[in-house]
Amino acid sequence: MTYRIRKFAGTTVSHLVLAALSLACLIPFIWMISTSLKTKAGMWEFPPRWIPSPPLWHNYRDAFTLAPFGTYITNTLTLEVLTIAGQVISCTLIAYGFSRFRFRGRDTLFFLMLATMLIPEQVTMIPTFLFYSKLGWIDTYLPLVVPSFFGNAFYVFLMRQFLLTIPKDLDEAAKIDGANEFTILWRVLVPILRPSLTIIVVYTFTGVYNDFLSPLIYLNSPEKFTLAIGLANFVSSRSTEWNLLMAASTVILLPLLLIYYLAQKNLIGGIASLGIKG
């Protein structure tokens, strides 16, 4: 075989493998949507039909009238806005502090911050719960929101990496023009930091959206439930109505897919650029 033919064969095989794996990635979603449009009888058909005829669109309406998903959506979005604001503000300030100022113990503290990523959640969970219950915060959004205002090690790390690539001359120039540190951060750096801010926003969004354990522990009143808890509740009351469950799941996953689609470049670039080194 000549080099050219071999290369062509190699590319074709790679494409086939990648396409097959892509299908494997997507098939749970296809199966979910397919089931969400089935009748009760259609669900128990074997072999299953991929395209239900006729598609039962009112499963979606049924799912939404059987459980107050509208309320869950509002609650989740409220939490999202507050948490994202907390993370964006706190992580920007902290990363700025760690990257632009010299102070004693800075590197030790930074290392300590990275080390906190290794603390298993189960160890801190119980005292934190007891602490919040002493404060009377159970069944409020405070335990879910307040911690986000104190930064997140991974996001600070990401943002500091990014800040270190921005030349200090920019700060100096602004300083000569009479800007103070807050103005420099806000006017000069934050606009440049947009890519890493996007990563923080998207990660926080998906983190809050997927989070199940914390709202499960802290929220008791159904009218305060997030989508995750609301869906879990819906599942326990309709455990075999897979068509309704899949309709609800589809609607719940949609915003996540949309956000991911919009932010994919930033996200994948951010992860890949982490470039783990010693």
Partner 1 sequence: MANTLLSKAERREERLGFLFISPWLIGFIAFAVFPIIASLLISFMKWDIYQAPSWVGWNNFNHLFHDKLFYKSMRVTLVYSAFAIPLGLVLGLALSLLLNMNIRGINTYRTLFYLPSVISGVAIAMVWKWIFNSDYGLLNYLLSLVGIHGPKWLEDPNWILTTYIIMSLWGIGGSAIIFLGGLQNIPGHLYEAAKIDGAKVVQRFTKITLPLLTPTLFFQLLMGIIGSFQVFTSAFMMNGRSGSAGGPENEGLFYMLYLYQKAFKSFDMGYASAMAWVGGLISFILAIIVYKTQGKWVFYDADDTQGKGKTA
Near partner 1 in 64-93, by CB under 8 A: 90, 93
Instruction: Check residue 35 for interaction with partner 1 (CB under 8 A).
Output: yes
- Residue owning tokens 């493998």: 17
Alpha-carbon distance values, 205 to 94, 121, 148, 254 (Å): 20, 19, 12, 13
How many helices and strands (H and E) does the chain possess? 15, 0
From candidates 1, 5, 20, 25, binder to partner 1 by CB under 8 A = 25
C-alpha angle with apex 59: 54 to 61, nearest 5 degrees?
125
Which residues within the stretch 177-236 sit at the binding site for partner 1 (CB under 8 A)?
Answer: 181, 206, 209-213, 216-217, 228-229, 231-232, 235-236
Query: Taking the complex as a whole, how short is the minimal distance between the CB of residue 194 and partner 1, in angstroms?
Result: 20
User: Side chain identity at 5, as an amino acid letter?
Assistant: I
* Minimum separation from the CB atom of position 70 to partner 1 (A): 17
Residues numbered 132 to 161 that lie near partner 1 (CB under 8 A) are 133, 147, 149-151, 156
Residue 113 interacts with partner 1 (CB under 8 A): yes or no: yes
Could you tell me which stretch among 10-18, 77-85, 165-173, 193-201 binds partner 1 (CB under 8 A)?
10-18
Q: Does 8 bind partner 1 (CB under 8 A)?
A: no
CB-based contacts of 120: which residues, under 8 Å, 6+ apart?
A: none
Least Cβ distance, residue 66 to partner 1 (angstroms) = 15
Of the candidates 269, 256, 245, the one whose C-alpha atom is nearest the C-alpha of residue 36 is: 245
